[in-house]
Chains A and B, each alone.
Chain A
Amino acid sequence: MGTMLSFKEVTKIYPGAEHIKAINELSFDLEDGEICTLVGPSGCGKSTAMKMVNRLIPMTSGKILIDGQNIDRLNTIELRRGIGYVIQNIGLFPNMTIGENIAIIPKMKGWDEGRIKERVETLLDIVNLPAEEYIDRYPRELSGGQQQRIGVARGMAIDPPVMLMDEPFGAIDPINRDHLQNEFLKIQAKLKKTIVFVTHDIDEAIKMGDKVCLLKDGKLVQFASPEKMLTEPANDFVRDFVGGDRTLKRLNLLTIRTAIRPDPPVVLETEKSATAGTIMTETGAKHLITVDSEGRLTGYIDHEALKKDGETVEQIKCETEAFLPDTSSLKDGLSEIFSHDLEFLIVLDDSKRVIGTLYTDDIKKILRG
């Protein structure tokens, strides 16, 4: 995987505002298939930096390379048609239906009708707007959030290798935004596009980005992976910007798998109750996880349960909800531990087999690094 997009000392000075550099010697390299989130306070030059990539804004000096080619050498129209573009203020074409909006660039590229129709339907499906209901509507018949989703679908229409997205989920409610972000990451995992993603929300930047590019007054403050930005903020500005809770934010990035304590003491539910008691005294564990013959979680046993009379473990075990798959974030894990006041959380794999436990101590250890 080579470098797909690189900024080389790019500077932008707007005519009429010569004393400020809207973008000041910005340089960074983006690998093929990475999402780079541009983040920073309002007016820091995020949109400006992004729009220089498809030459909507001409740069003052420096150069931008896409796939090793200097964009100044390319034909503007061809360059732009090869880059998906989602703008901050949505900008759907009000005179065209949703279907026509999405199909406009494919049409200009001369795709055949069937292919266009199929593509439009897939895209509407991705952004969670049923095609048969929305395809013939006009933008004005949609809510702001729905329009923004159409904007995203339109940007992806020709499946471009490079995409520019300016706050694509800005007008969408938290639930749908979360859904779209996850959906987008899922697609991205498959399609591996190189994306410049502008946002002012640091949480979104951290969630979506393979690289986070933090700008301030047109200057690059830090360009790093989200993990690194949280653990090693370059200066006080970054520290402030990512927030006092940056340690907690890292919990979002890490999965439970990273802090798992493997091979917990378990007991088959077909065993005698007495056996369970023996194991507990031997290991000194206060709780014992019960599993079925496949190793799947069925419940747990504590000292209280042992006092109950019953032949087998199955008869005395208690039900539990304190489990999560190992792909969940540490934040969810911690939240689960706190909300049920647990000592530990049971961690399962995809097929619900018990693979370990999660203790707060281990989380602390991970965060300390």
Chain B
Amino acid sequence: MASTADALAAAGRPPKARPIKPRLGRDDLIMRGFMAVIALYLVIAIALPLYAMLSKSFSTYSFDLTAYEFQVSDEVGNFDAPPVSAAALNDELQAVSPEDLSTSSDGRLPATSFFPDFSFRSPVMYKIRGTSADAVYLVGTERFSGTEWREVDSNNFRRVMLRPARDIGFANYVTYFSTPALFQSIENSIFISALSTIITVTLAFGFAYALSRSCMRLKGFFRLVALAPILVPSLLPGIGLVYLFGNQGMIKELLLGESIYGPIGIVIGSVFFTFPHAMIIITTALAISDARLYEAAECLKASRWKIFWTVTVPGARYGLISAAFVVFNLVITDFGLPKVIGGQYNMLAVDIYKQVIGQQNFEMGAVVSVVLLMPALVAFAVDRQVQKKQVALLSARSVPYQPKPNRRFDWLAFGYCGLIAVFIVGLLAVCQYAALIKFWPYDLSLSLKNYAFDLMDGGGWDSYYNSIQMALLTAVAGTAVVFVGAYMVEKTKGFETGRSLFQLLAMLPMAIPGMVLGLAYIFFFNEPANPLNFIYGTMAILVICTVTHFYTVSHLTAVTALKQMDREFESVAASLKQPFYKLFRVVTVPVCLPTILDISIYLFVNAMTTVSAVIFLYSPTTTLASVAVLNMNDAGDIAPAAAMGMMIFYTNAGARLIHLAVSKGVLKRTQAWRFR
């Protein structure tokens, strides 16, 4: 008898008992509700648009001439002749060639093509019908379908347009890969990204090494300078390079006759704008390497060179790998820089723009987007794996390294960092200088005429104010959504499936290039049948797109901060019968305030500088500063473009200063508890 009870106990269940199902309290329901709402936001803001784009890339459109029949009357309106199909007419007349039958989703084929002797003044009447229910045609702007005969007079018959039928298949991809001009971009993009990655990571590693391992002076200054490129749009270095090395460049002789428009320009500019990202990651990796290893190596009288290769580099390997993939991803998905300085050199991100804006070929734009998604997804996946490993490393480490003075090495480090600083400050200074002179290179007198943005294409000063409004909205709404979402997913009890689904949705945006996101938004939100269609062309869609684009990093920041909170706070509050939102308001938010401010400044700065995510989505009333830089540059107003770019720089620098001051003030006032 005892043995059966034991067997049941071993099975982990009692005889004939039902498992306990939790009865959900009010808090549980509210929390799940919040999570569901934010998950729904992510579904609408990323999953559905991506799906729309994917399905678009597999859609082909062609006119199906067998689907339409016509009947023509005599002069007095008697329909004696038999009905005849459009296909038969075309076989006879060869009016439309087979190539012209394939078209885009917007394609329209005039019915009159099949009636060479058509005259809109003739008394002849026409009848048209589809042979299947799916055949669609327009009369003027009115849309008809179905197999019923419709009679139109000749004046209206010239306004009858056949509409293409949609087909699912790989045809677009076949076209893409059989057009060398298009798939050449894949090679170009990978080549440029790989080259920029090698250069950036090498330079940034040297810089981070100097910062963490030397006793040189001005470390704080160098760090600040190295972070400056984050504050400008990626296309600004391109403008600086044009002034330095362009056809009338200040020092174009240095290029020995090579053109800056093309790979050289893209690579130099990419190094500029990705440098801070690599530097931050590698500095972190170096900071966590263990001092004890260095002491051991020094005790063994190992040379600095040997220590470097046997201790430093292996210790920072995850940082280096992570930095490489981040830089690769940034370069391959960047649109602004190759647009400004790429010349005839085709890159994937620019191809999307050209297909969509230049040729209105949305399907091909979707195909290029899917192609661009591939390397980005791989880079993203590898980076995530490496990040996990590094976290494991971090917790095991302890004693931070304290460098010792060494005159020769310190001066070497100083010289190296000085050169990098000159490169970064120099490029920004050139932009500012170009913005302030009248007309390079003919009239070098100072003037503010380049700031008269209202006289140029691109939206004028309004675009600057729009940008600030957009960035503020993004910072406020984005931080709220991200932090509340992270809180719910971290602190909701049970509900495992829902939570992992949410985590997945939250990680997705990082893998999606801005151009792809923007294009996906066109497909999804511009669809007339979408009830959310009304936000198309408004400030709201720009804010939603930008929040989504930068969701992942913000989410991870918030999750990290929340993980550091005692996980029993919620239990204590519940045992005291206090609702979770009181705890959230009174404890969670105040304790996490520094993180919340960090997330909002991150969103603000990125909203000010982003081009790729919003280039397809702005409307005449919602032009943005970063887009204005691009458009003014396109229109040949390069100096005003530089001026606007520098306005973004100063605005972001100012925002960072305010952030710093507010953070300090807040810390002092509300975080007294941090100090004993």
User: Are A and B bound to each other?
Assistant: no
Q: Which residues does A use to contact B, with CB under 8 Å?
A: none
